[in-house]
Amino acid sequence: MSATAQQKQPAEREFFIATPEEIRAGRVTDVYFERTKQILDARAIDKQVVLEARVKKLPYGDWGLFCGAAELVHLLEGQPLDLWALPEGTRFAAHEPTLLIGCNYRQFAVYETALLGLLCQASGIATKAARCVIAAEGRPVWSFGVRRLHPAIAPMIDRSAFIGGCQGVSCVLAAELLGEEAVGTVPHALILILGDSASATLAFDEIIDKRVKRVALVDTFGDEKFETLENAELLSGNIYAVRLDTPSSRRGDMLEIAREIRWELDIHGYQQVKIFISGGLDEELIPTLNPVADGYGVGTAISNARVIDFALDIVEIEGDPTAKRGKESGAKQLYLCEKCGQRSVRLFNDELKSCPTCSGPVQPQLVQFLAQGRRVRELESAQEVRRRVLAQLTPER
């Protein structure tokens, strides 16, 4: 930029977010795509290309969960292009094709930035959620972390976490958009304002809808063990669980604290009362607490999960396989063997009929969502996607 570049008057905005209309108009774009379009427009260059999204390196382990396709459909619907992608909740590995777009490049260029942003973040969150769910070995994991990120994206965060296998989400709006009940207990603030944990538990029991499970928070003022017993006695054992939200300063003792609470609950006749743990949890910490915890609230580890670095590259121009160095050219399909699980990548027009390893039946994984901008596939509900994700995760338990 030159020093003489004219400074524009900044536009005023209450919240620094792009509107859905601006995103769909291609305004959330890196300027180099806009300039590319300007040049192609000036020269009237209409090249039909195929773009492919794939990942070179995954942030967690050797697989990712594909998430964000529903928003991609809403971004690109009505544009003159074809969109093929993995269905949401599909597992993929590095170097596998996950998405294909057939388009006139000058018409598509300004959407690349938004497309990658939608895909990279949602897939990162869903993947991390799934890893926490696996770590919990069947115990429920709830998404409690929207407070760490911009509120405008809370519904996306919680939807991705839910798709990744979380049993519920804490954000009221996100839960409403998912068609789920929001999940939560009581904050430390309520206990501080009412004076003690017992008053908060009694007030909750008196005022809050009886369908909401009673979960007492037991680490605000006193010892977790004594607050647990006090709360259990208050409601005559009619509490569903206690929640430990002990700060990281006591993290080393968490397992022992929880064990002690379990012991005291059991010998006082409260065997049915569960122990939930929250506060700075992640996939490494969860397995260490599994011997005694019955469920987890996970915050930042899921909501601020590392993004998955999808790259979108041209692999075909006017029907000819063409790609930059380091990328394999040609539009490709990913096949999964239904019998042995073998994964095979083939050129799109070189259909794989059976598994090269076991001759079993194979399923193409990339499915068409848009044909010349027209939707040709129903979008699944988050519940349907989540069910499929959990079915994929189960064998790893």
Minimum CB separation of residue 359 from Zn ion in Å reads 7
CB of 330 closer than 8 Å to CB of 44: no
- Is 354 a binder of Zn ion (CB under 5 A)? no
- Is 340 or 391 the residue whose CB approaches Zn ion more closely? 340
H/E element holding 385?
A: helix 382-393
Which long-range contacts does 181-187 make (Cβ < 8 Å, 24+ apart)?
Answer: 183/142, 184/144, 185/215, 185/216, 185/217, 185/243, 185/276, 186/215, 186/216, 186/217, 187/217
Q: Is 356 in the site for Zn ion (CB under 5 A)?
A: no
Q: Considering the complex, what minimum distance in angstroms separates the CB of residue 344 from Zn ion?
A: 9
355 is an interface residue for Zn ion by CB under 5 A: yes
User: Does 337 sit near Zn ion (CB under 5 A)?
Assistant: yes
- The number of beta carbons lying within 10 Å of the beta carbon of residue 248 is 10
**Binding span for Zn ion by CB under 5 A among 106-114, 206-214, 261-269, 355-363:** 355-363
Q: At what angle do helices 197-207 and 224-234 cross, to 10 degrees?
A: 30
Binding piece for Zn ion, criterion CB under 5 A, among 105-113, 156-164, 213-221, 351-359: 351-359
For the bound state, the minimum distance from the C-beta of residue 11 to Zn ion, rounded and expressed in Å, comes to 56
Q: Which residues, listed in sequence order, are joined to residue 84 by a DSSP beta bridge?
A: 100, 368
Q: What angle do CA 243, 192, 202 make, to 5 degrees?
A: 60
Q: Between residues 288 and 357, which has the closer beta carbon with respect to Zn ion? A: 357
What is the rounded distance in angstroms from the CA atom of residue 211 to the CA atom of residue 114?
Answer: 41
Residue 330 main-chain phi, psi, to 5 deg? 95, 140
In the numeric block, which tokens belong to residue 301? Answer: 């580890």
Shortest reach from residue 55's CB to Zn ion, in Å: 24
CB of 39 to Zn ion, least distance (A): 47
Does 361 sit near Zn ion (CB under 5 A)?
no
DSSP string computed for 186-214: --HHHHHHHSSHHHHHHHHHHHS-TTS--
Q: Select the span of 69-77, 214-222, 293-301, 356-364 touching Zn ion (CB under 5 A).
A: 356-364
What is the size of the binding site for Zn ion (CB under 5 A)?
8
Confirm or reject binding of residue 397 to Zn ion (CB under 5 A): no
Of the ranges 100-108, 109-117, 257-265, 330-338, which one interacts with Zn ion (CB under 5 A)?
Answer: 330-338
∠ CA 210-213-216 to the nearest 5 degrees?
Answer: 115
List 36, 290, 300, 342, residue binding Zn ion (CB under 5 A) = 342
When binding is defined by CB under 5 A, the residue of 340, 361, 376, 396 that contacts Zn ion is: 340
Q: Is 336 in the site for Zn ion (CB under 5 A)?
A: no
Spatial separation of the C-alpha atoms in residues 374 and 355, rounded to whole Å: 32
**Cβ(306)–Cβ(60) below 8 Å:** yes
Out of 47, 213, 339, 397, name the contact with Zn ion by CB under 5 A.
Answer: 339
Whose Cβ is closer to Zn ion: residue 95's or residue 339's? 339
Among 238, 357, 372, 383, binds Zn ion (CB under 5 A): 357
Residue nearer to Zn ion on the CB measure, 290 or 342: 342
Contact set with Zn ion (CB under 5 A): 337, 339-340, 342, 355, 357-358, 360
